[in-house]
Amino acid sequence: MFPQTIIIKLASPIVIRSLHFKTTNVRKIQVEGCDDPHSHRYTVLGETEIGSNNGELQIENVNLEDNRGLYYVKFTILSGYTDFVSIHTINFS
């Protein structure tokens, strides 16, 4: 059932310093970005392993060290604690 991918297209390029997201049953997630509006060549921005929360809401922050304006952000759930995982919210700052 993994990997599972979500791609977010942004209306205009933004520099993302950190991501704040809420998930359930996610074990490992990778974040990639694309700074070209006409390409889908992604660069890995970060990856994190999230501790088990026994099916409860997981709240995670990932700091990014990338100064490019991104048009696309791709989240790839690499593994989970169960077959079914969910992403509840994703916030950029």
Give mean pLDDT, residues 66-88.
Answer: 94
Q: Which domains does the chain have, with CATH numbers?
A: 4-92 (2.60.120.260)
pTM for this prediction: 0.89
- Per-residue pLDDT of 13-70, as tens digits, reads 999 999 999 999 999 999 999 999 998 899 999 999 999 999 999 999 989 878 899 9
Predicted pLDDT of residue 2: 95
Query: Can you give the chain as a three-state secondary structure string?
Result: CCCEEEEEEEEEEECCCEEEEEEECEEEEEEEEECCCCCCCCEEEEEEECCCCCCCEEEEEEECCCCCCEEEEEEEEEEECCCCCEEEEEEEC
